[in-house]
A = this chain, B = another copy of it.
């Protein structure tokens, strides 16, 4: 395919966002906003963060943009724009390139996002670097540092499914779980939900990209509080529990890339949160509480006792004390 024909297939023919002043085609993109602007970037390297052996490029594109949309969601913002910088190896076919952009477009369409820039260059290893912009009503940014003593902790969706889907792809057995694979390839960032919570006066949010163990510790550190998680309440899908009974619990805590949301609110705002979740048909689970602490940490409570949950997984309290 001629380069120009390829570009024509990729660049937008219209913009969903009315705030576009100058779209693709000049030295830069120009937009206008009466709201605050949220900006994030995410870089994926082939054979490090994804593999064309286990994912077609449509899913690679979708998932790369999903990571950015999830960051926008974690700030409470409405997604608006994305740009794509690609380093492509010579073996990429035109069809693979178009499918990559189509995958992004599938998610972009759901969130009314516009493709507004980027570039494509040649290299010896494929890199997909995406940036995204979102809009935010002034002073409605949702930060990791906003958890307070007495808050309840919630999480959207179920956790560990993306890790389960990766397992299905890497080590396929006699049967495969389409559900888990879909959760890995086409995660659904909860941006509409997060942006729909502007009535809440305070909301601490973090998206689950590295696993709840890691994200909960980020909240504890940024807010200077102790998080208490009830292990039995961490939501795990039936599919994951049935297919991976031995790993489901651990993957739910440290599996990562589910692109769900972890947050805390004052107990009085639980009902508003549940109402928005019901409206959007999103599963919402309360999994613990926040308490004041001089030492930021995350405790995992279960009938078997209490452990400290480390950022990269969990170790027994005894072990952790040795480390200090």
- Using a CB–CB cutoff of 8 Å, the interface residues on chain A facing chain B are 21-22, 25-33, 36-45, 48-49, 71-72, 74-75, 77, 81, 83, 85-87, 116-119, 121-125, 127, 129, 131, 133-134, 136, 138, 141, 143-145, 205-207, 222
Asked, given contacts A49-B121, A121-B48, A129-B85, whether A29 binds B40 with beta carbons under 8 Å apart, the answer is yes
Residues from chain B with Cβ under 8 Å of A87 in the complex:
43, 45, 87, 125, 127
Residue in B86, B117, B124 whose beta carbon sits within 8 Å of that of A125 in the complex: B124
- Per assembly, the copies of the chain total 2
Counting chain B CB atoms within 10 Å of each CB, the highest count among A28, A124, A136, A138 belongs to A28
Tell me, in angstroms, the Cα distance from A83 to B22 when the chains sit together. 21
Residues from chain B with Cβ under 8 Å of A118 in the complex:
41
Tell me, in angstroms, the Cα distance from A48 to B127 when the chains sit together. 14
Q: Is the interface of A mostly helix, strand, loop or mixed?
A: strand
**What's the least CB distance linking A192 to chain B, in Å?**
17
Tell me, in angstroms, the Cα distance from A222 to B74 when the chains sit together. 40
Instruction: Say whether A75 contacts B30, CB under 8 Å.
Output: yes
Residue in B30, B74, B119 whose beta carbon sits within 8 Å of that of A28 in the complex: B74
Instruction: Say whether A27 contacts B74, CB under 8 Å.
Output: yes
Asked, given contacts A37-B32, A42-B119, whether A141 binds B72 with beta carbons under 8 Å apart, the answer is no
Counting chain B CB atoms within 10 Å of each CB, the highest count among A36, A81, A123, A133 belongs to A123
Can you list 18 A-B pairs, Cβ within 8 angstroms, ordered by A? A26-B222, A27-B207, A28-B38, A30-B36, A30-B39, A31-B36, A33-B37, A39-B83, A41-B119, A43-B129, A45-B123, A48-B122, A49-B121, A85-B129, A87-B125, A87-B127, A124-B124, A127-B129
